[in-house]
């Protein structure tokens, strides 16, 4: 598997799953734009780790939910790099709470970042991919979008929405040799899941056939496969990486 010469943009690449994806793509030879919104230090750290390992990367700060900022960032990236071969829409947030008490702003911010963000970035990158007649887009969904999750009506709606978005975009762009897929992680060891009570973590593990939370590298490996030549005949699909908790 080689991504030598490819240009990749990973939204929310500063930490967690996004950082692992950046490291993996860089390890395979891609030049990686590591996106963040506020965590510039973490993004720079990700870039440092990549460079120390002999890879190429640069941090790029913009809010995926801000249409003007997204447009400006991708314009600059395409001008600098010539084109974008790989886009990983990974940036995501949670604003959990039972529906009766969920504020409209919690609904809006999760939908704006997790769903509209993917639309804005994909739209911004598609022109360069169409010109090149090749491209790979991977949207990071979630098992919550398939099973639903109490306390996550906003998050589950956004993540389920990403699947419909993925399939529709895959159909629209297939003739330009652009593949669009999603990955639905189960529970992965990150800052997001570290927030769960230890008791809740143990209860969840009991419901996972493989008995453990996944690692960020498990998702990074799945992304690498989908964006590689080996994954070239796969489009419009969701790859479930969840230890068997949802089949
Ligand atoms: P983290 O909270 O660890 O990291 C989130 C990343 O998204 C950070 O890099 C953050 O940047 C970035 N980000 C957040 N909002 C924006 C924004 N508006 N614009 C640009 N970047 C933004 O998340 P995880 O690594 O846990 O999750 C990554 C993805 O995987 C998310 O989409 C999540 O929903 C999904 N997922 C995670 C699971 C898990 O178990 N962890 C399970 C299923 C899905 P900054 O540092 O600047 O804030």
Q: Pick the catalytic residue: 33, 155, 173, 187?
A: 155
Burial of residue 177, with CB atoms counted within 10 A of its CB: 0-12 exposed, 13-18 middle, 19 or more buried: middle
Give the pLDDT score at 93.
96
**Closest C-alpha among 43, 70, 69 to residue 125:** 70
Specify whether the CB–CB gap between 17 and 90 falls below 8 A.
yes
Give the pLDDT score at 157.
98
The terminus-to-terminus CA distance of the chain in angstroms comes to: 28
Give the pLDDT score at 196.
87
Cβ of 185 less than 6 Å from ligand 1: yes
Q: Does residue 247 form part of some domain?
A: no
Q: Does residue 141 form part of some domain?
A: yes
How far, in Å, from the CA of 195 to the mean position of ligand 1?
13
| Number of separate domains in the chain | 1
**Residue 233 CA to chain centroid, in angstroms?**
20
Q: Does residue 204 form part of some domain?
A: no
Q: Does residue 18 form part of some domain?
A: yes
Give the pLDDT score at 49.
98
Give the pLDDT score at 107.
98
Closest C-alpha to ligand 1, atom 31: 92
Q: Does residue 198 form part of some domain?
A: no
How many CB atoms sit inside 10 A of residue 112's CB?
17
C-alpha 146/C-alpha 152 separation (Å) is 12
Q: Does residue 196 form part of some domain?
A: no
The partner residues of 57 in beta bridges, in order of sequence, read: 32
Q: Does residue 54 form part of some domain?
A: yes
Give the pLDDT score at 219.
98
How far, in Å, from the CA of 45 to the mean position of ligand 1?
16
Q: Which domain holds residue 34?
A: 7-189+216-241
Q: What is the mean pLDDT of each run of 10 residues along the chain (247 residues)?
A: 97 97 98 98 98 98 98 98 98 96 98 99 97 98 97 98 98 98 96 87 95 97 98 98 97
User: How many C-alpha atoms does 206 have within 13 Å on its Cβ side?
Assistant: 6
Q: Give CA torsion, residues 123, 128, 133, 135, to 10 deg.
A: -60
Q: Does residue 201 form part of some domain?
A: no
Please tell me what DSSP assigns to residue 209.
T
Specify whether the CB–CB gap between 27 and 56 falls below 8 A.
no
Specify whether the CB–CB gap between 216 and 188 falls below 8 A.
yes
The partner residues of 139 in beta bridges, in order of sequence, read: 89, 182
- Give the contacts of 94 (CB within 8 A, at least 6 positions apart): 110, 152, 155, 192
Q: Answer yes or no: 155 catalytic.
A: yes
How many CB atoms sit inside 10 A of residue 223's CB?
29
How far, in Å, from the CA of 175 to the mean position of ligand 1?
31
Cβ of 73 less than 6 Å from ligand 1: no
- Token output for 169: 């975009």
Relative to the CA of 37, which ligand 1 atom is closest? 47
The CATH number that applies at residue 225 is: 3.40.50.720
Cβ of 187 less than 6 Å from ligand 1: yes
Specify whether the CB–CB gap between 89 and 51 falls below 8 A.
no
C-alpha 238/C-alpha 160 separation (Å) is 11
Cβ of 12 less than 6 Å from ligand 1: yes
Cβ of 15 less than 6 Å from ligand 1: yes
């Amino acid at each position: 598997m080689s991504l030598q010469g490819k240009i990749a943009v990973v939204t929310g690449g500063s930490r967690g799953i996004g950082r692992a994806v950046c490291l993996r793509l860089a390890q395979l030879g891609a030049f990686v734009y590591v996106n963040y919104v506020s965590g510039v230090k973490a993004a720079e750290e990700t870039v440092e780790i990549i460079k120390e390992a002999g890879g190429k990367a640069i941090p790029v700060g913009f809010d995926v939910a801000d249409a003007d900022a997204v447009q400006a960032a991708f314009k600059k990236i395409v001008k600098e790099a010539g084109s974008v071969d790989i886009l990983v829409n990974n940036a995501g947030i949670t604003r959990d709470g039972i529906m009766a008490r969920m504020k409209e702003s919690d609904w809006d911010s999760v939908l704006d970042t997790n769903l509209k963000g993917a639309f804005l970035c994909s739209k911004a990158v598609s022109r360069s991919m169409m010109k090149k007649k090749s491209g790979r887009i991977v949207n990071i969904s979630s098992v919550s979008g398939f099973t639903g999750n109490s306390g996550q009506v906003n998050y589950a709606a956004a993540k389920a929405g990403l699947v419909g978005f993925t399939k529709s975009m895959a159909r629209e762009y297939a003739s330009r040799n652009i593949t669009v897929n999603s990955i639905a992680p189960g529970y992965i060891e990150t800052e997001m899941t570290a927030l769960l009570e230890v008791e809740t973590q143990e209860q969840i593990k009991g419901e996972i056939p493989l008995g453990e939370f996944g690692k960020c590298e498990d998702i990074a490996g799945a992304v690498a496969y989908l964006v590689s030549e080996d994954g070239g005949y796969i489009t419009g699909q969701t790859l479930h990486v969840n230890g068997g908790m949802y089949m």
